[in-house]
Amino acid sequence: MAELSYDRRGAGPPLVLIHGIGSHWQVWSPILDKVSRHRDVIALDLPGFGASPPFPTAAAASPARPPFAAPAAAPHAEAAAGSVAWFADQVVAFLRGLGIESFEAGGNSLGGGIALELGRRGAASRVTAFSPVGFWSTPGRLWCQAVVTAARTGATRLAPALPGIMNSRAGRSAFCAPFYGHPANLPAGDALSGARALAAAPGFPRTRDAFSGLRPWTYAGMGELSRIPVTIAWGTRDAVLPYRTQARRARMILPAARHVPLPGCGHLPFADDPSRCAALLL
């Protein structure tokens, strides 16, 4: 497996932070200093995103295995590149390369689904998932795919104008509204780098399409998640994976988890309420 781009800081129990589709490790920047006072934090770029290498060509032909379905310890076929299960495989292999066998996992959106998958397998000892994928109905999944595709298209077509757009509070409010509860307050540099990462990610199309084959979480498929500490946090202004419907399903399927609403926060809550997000991870 290729080396992944990552940022590592702090000391303490290892905590791996996993971003969502079209994002990069810098999405965690608002909380990294707070969390790294208590953890050895590894914020990584998934394959095909940020500064990490694209998907390996050979993996495209690998037979898919559905995540969230088999018992955690059951043998499985190799997962298709871009699927939650495949990303979880890559994260585990990458961490083993760093000599890390035991870790806590935090994730957002796609990364939240990956973090839950790592917990389900027993690879992660604790999971904190912000607006994770996998609790949707078919209309919810189609909506998610449509929103992120529209954002990617906009970031690509408007690439030359992005610096000017993001330097304007009105521009940030318009462009970043699907992802943040308070987009105008987002630092212009962070908004610009996030939009550029979304436009440039070679792994975006296959990962987005892999959502169509993602079997939603079920109570019977929780594996080790019923035996480890799990927190699921959801921004009440999440426009990508809407809080009202998907957080309700999460509470039904994982009743033993800690379920936390983040009032006024969007799909990427770290800039909206960094202190609360850091506290949840800790």
Number of alpha carbons in the 13 Å side-chain half-sphere of residue 274:
12
The confidence score (pLDDT) of residue 70 equals 39
Which domain does 224 fall in, by range?
Answer: 6-145+210-281
Asked whether residue 190 is domain-assigned, the answer is: no
pLDDT at 78: 63
**125 within domain boundaries:** yes
Residue 200 lies in a domain: no
**Residue 205 domain flag:** no
Q: What is the pLDDT of residue 2?
A: 57
Give the model's pLDDT for residue 79: 82
Query: Which pLDDT score, from 0 to 100, does residue 65 have?
Result: 44
Number of domains in the chain: 1
Task: Report pTM.
Answer: 0.92
Residue 46 one-letter amino acid: L
Q: Does residue 10 belong to any structural domain of this protein?
A: yes
Q: Domain for residue 112, yes or no? A: yes
Please, where are the H alpha helices in the chain? 29-35, 84-97, 110-121, 138-157, 162-166, 169-176, 188-200, 204-210, 243-253, 274-281
Q: Is residue 92 part of a domain?
A: yes
Mean per-residue pLDDT pooled into runs of 10, the chain (282 residues) = 88 98 98 98 98 75 43 50 95 96 97 98 97 96 98 97 96 95 94 97 97 91 93 98 96 96 98 97 96
Task: Give the CATH number of the domain where residue 65 resides.
Answer: 3.40.50.1820
**Does the residue 20 lie in any domain?**
yes
